[in-house]
Structure 1
Amino acid sequence: MTSMDMKFVILFLFPVVIGSLGNFSLLYHYIFISFSEQRTMPTYFILRHLTVANLLVILSRGIPETMAALGIEDFLNNFWCKLIFYVLMVGKGVSFSTTCLLSVFQAITISPRSTRWVELKVRALKCIRSFPSIFWVLHMLANIRVPMLVTDKRHNKNITNTIDYQYCSAAISSKEINYIFMALSLSHDIFCLELMMWSSSSMVFILYQHKQQTQYIHRYKSSSVSSPETRAVQSILLLVCAFVSFYVLSSIMNVWFSLFDRSAWWLVKTSALTHVYFPTISSFIFMTHDQCVCKPMWKK
C-alpha cells in the first residue's frame, strides 16, 4: 500500500466512522423523542428522513472507497455495484431535497405572529409529513437509469467511455442524453438552492429583528456569552455555507463526468469526498441548528 492510498484510507474512514456515529445518534434521538412524547415537532420528522438519507450516502460511498484504498480488489459483483450506486444517488437526492424542506419549514416556524404567516403555518403543518415520502419516491424514479449504467470491473468491456471507480465502472451516455438529464437535475437543484437561500436569509433577518427588539434584555449580560439569536444566526450561516460549498464542488464533478469522456483519477476521488463529507459535517451542524431554531422563539 502506497502513502497516497493510506491517506485516502484515513480520509474516507473518518466520515464512515464519525459521520455514521453522528447520524445514528441523531436518528436515535429523534426516534426516542417520537416514542417518548405524545406530540413531536414536525422538524424531528423531517430530520429523521434526513439522517437516514445521509447515512445511506456515507455508507454506500465511504465503505467501498475505503476498501478500494486498502487495496482490496473485486469485492463487489455486478448486482452490488448497481445497488450501491442507486442507493447513493437516491440518498444524495433525498438529502438535498430534505435539507431544503427543513430550511423552508424552519423559516415559516420562526416567522412573526401575523395573519398571513399564521395561515401559512397551519397549511405547512398539515402537509409537511407527506413531503419526505414524496421525495423518496421521486428520487427513486429519477435515478432508475443508474443501475443500467453501472457494472462491476469484470463485466466492463469498454475502457474508454466509462468512469473508473476502482471497484465499479459507470458508462458515459451520449452527450445528447447527458444534456437532457443534466438540465433536469440542474433545474431541480437551482430551485432548491433558491428556496434554501431565501429561507436562510429570512431566518437571519427575522432573528436579527428579534434581537434588536429584545436587546435591552441582554444589556446586563456578559459580552463573552453569545445570545441564542446570535448562535442561531451563526448555525444557519454555517449550514448554508457548508451546503453551498459542497454542492458547488459536487456540481463541478458532475459536469465534468457529463461533458468529457475521460475522467481524471483525482476528480473521481474528490467527487467521492464531497459525497461523504457534507453528510458527516451536517450531522453535527444540525445538532446545534436544532437546539437553536427548531422551536418558535415567540412561543409563550
Structure 2
Amino acid sequence: MSKKERTFSRFLDVRSTVFFEITIGITANTVLLLFHILTFLLKQRPKPLDLTITQLSLIHLVMLVTMGFIATDTFESQRWENVLTCKLVIYMQRLMRALSICTTCLLSVLQAITLSPRNSCLAKFKQKLSHHYPCCLGFLWVFNMLLNGRFLVSIGATPNVTSQSLVFVTESCSQWPINYLFRYIFFSLGNVQDISFIGLMTLSSGYMVSLLWRHKRQFQHLHSISLSPKASPEEKATRTILLLMGFFMLMYILDCVTFSSRSILWNNDPIHLCVHMFVGNAYATICPFVLLSTEK
C-alpha cells in the first residue's frame, strides 16, 4: 500500500470515529435531557442544579447536531444551497460552545454553594439561588447571543474565486474579515469570558476539594477508619462534578493546542482537522455519561 493510500485510509478511519462520536453524544444527551424533563414533570419545583444539568444537556445536544452538519459539509462535500444555512449553523455552533463553558462553570459554582457549611461566606447565596438563578441564566444567554452575533454578519457562502482574506470554516461557508476595532473588541470579550469562567471553575473546584478533605478528616477523627462508610449523595455529586471539571479543563487545553497546531503547523491537513473535531466534541459526548452514572 502506497503512502497516499495509507493516508487516505487513516483519514477515513478518523472521519468515521468523528461521526461515531457525534452520534453517541447526541444519543446520550437526548437521554439525559428527557430524563430531567420527566423529573420536572414529577417535581413541583426543580432545583437550580437540575436546571443547570438540563440546560447543559440541551446545549451539548444542539452543539453536536450542528457539528454533525459541519462535519458532513466538510468531509462529504455536500454544499449548502443558501447563505442563511451557513449563518445559522455556524452561529448556533459557536453560541452553544460558549454557553457550554458558562454552564459548566455554573454547575461547579452551584455545587460549591450547596456544599458550603452554614458559617461560610457562600451560605448567604443559598436562599437567593432560587429567586435570582433564572435571571442569571437569561443574562448569560442574551450576552452570548450578542457576543456571537458577529458570525451572523461575517459568515457567508464560499465564493468560486480564491481570496487571501477569507477564512474557510467548511466547504460551503467562509468567514469574511470584519473591521479591526470590532474584531479586537469581540476577541477580547470572548477571551475575558473564557478566562473568567475557567478561573471560577478552578476556584470552586479547589474549594470543594478542601471541603471534602476537611469532612473526611473530621469523620476519621470521630469514627474508626475501618468502618469505611458510604459517601453521602452530596459527596457523590461533588465528586462527579469535580471529575467533569477536570475532564473539561483537559479537553479545553487539548482543543486550544490542536487548534493552534492545525493553523500554524499542520496547514489544515484533513486528518488533523478530524482530530481537532474529535477533541472539540469529547466533553459534550462524555459529559452525559458521567452525569447519568450518578442519577437514580
What TM-score do you get using the length of structure 2 for normalisation? 0.83
Secondary structure of 2:199's aligned partner: helix
Report how many residues are paired. 285
Q: 1:139 aligns with which of 132, 141, 144?
A: 144
- Residue type of the alignment partner of 1:191: S
Cα distance 1:205–1:179, how it changes in 2: closer, same or farther (>3 A)?
Answer: same
After superposition, give the CA deviation of every residue in 1:142-176 in whole Å (9 maximum; x if it has no partner).
Answer: 111102222233x3644322233234222344666
Pairwise CA RMSD: 3.0
Structure 2 unpaired stretches of 5+: none
Cα distance 1:94–1:207, how it changes in 2: closer, same or farther (>3 A)?
Answer: same
Cα distance 1:12–1:33, how it changes in 2: closer, same or farther (>3 A)?
Answer: same
Q: C-alpha separation between the residues in 1 aligned to 2:192 and 2:105?
A: 14
Q: 2:128 aligns with which of 101, 105, 123?
A: 123
The reply to whether residue 47 of structure 1 matches residue 53 of structure 2 is: yes
56-65 vs 5-14, greater mean Cα deviation = 5-14
Per-residue deviation, 1:202: 0.8
After superposition, give the CA deviation of every residue in 1:241-282 in whole Å (9 maximum; x if it has no partner).
Answer: 22112222334566689x98x952356444433332221112
Mapped contact 2:29–2:61 kept (Cα < 8 A): yes
Q: C-alpha separation between the residues in 1 aligned to 2:183 and 2:258?
A: 14
Aligned to 1:109: 114
The reply to whether residue 151 of structure 1 matches residue 163 of structure 2 is: no
Q: 1:264 aligns with which of 260, 268, 281?
A: 268
Mapped contact 1:62–1:276 kept (Cα < 8 A): no
Mapped contact 1:49–1:132 kept (Cα < 8 A): no
Cα distance 1:42–1:290, how it changes in 2: closer, same or farther (>3 A)?
Answer: farther
Secondary structure of 2:167's aligned partner: strand
Q: 1:239 aligns with which of 223, 241, 244?
A: 244
Q: C-alpha separation between the residues in 1 aligned to 2:187 and 2:149?
A: 15
Per-residue deviation, 1:37: 1.4
Mapped contact 1:107–1:200 kept (Cα < 8 A): yes
46-55 vs 231-240, greater mean Cα deviation = 231-240
Per-residue deviation, 1:290: 6.3
Mapped contact 1:15–1:58 kept (Cα < 8 A): no
Secondary structure of 2:127's aligned partner: helix
Per-residue deviation, 1:217: 5.2
The reply to whether residue 33 of structure 1 matches residue 32 of structure 2 is: no
Q: 2:164 aligns with which of 160, 163, 169?
A: 160
Mapped contact 1:12–1:62 kept (Cα < 8 A): no
Secondary structure of 1:214's aligned partner: helix
> Aligned residues: percent identity?
26
The reply to whether residue 211 of structure 1 matches residue 216 of structure 2 is: yes
Structure 1 unpaired stretches of 5+: 292-300
Mapped contact 2:109–2:201 kept (Cα < 8 A): yes
3-12 vs 173-182, greater mean Cα deviation = 173-182
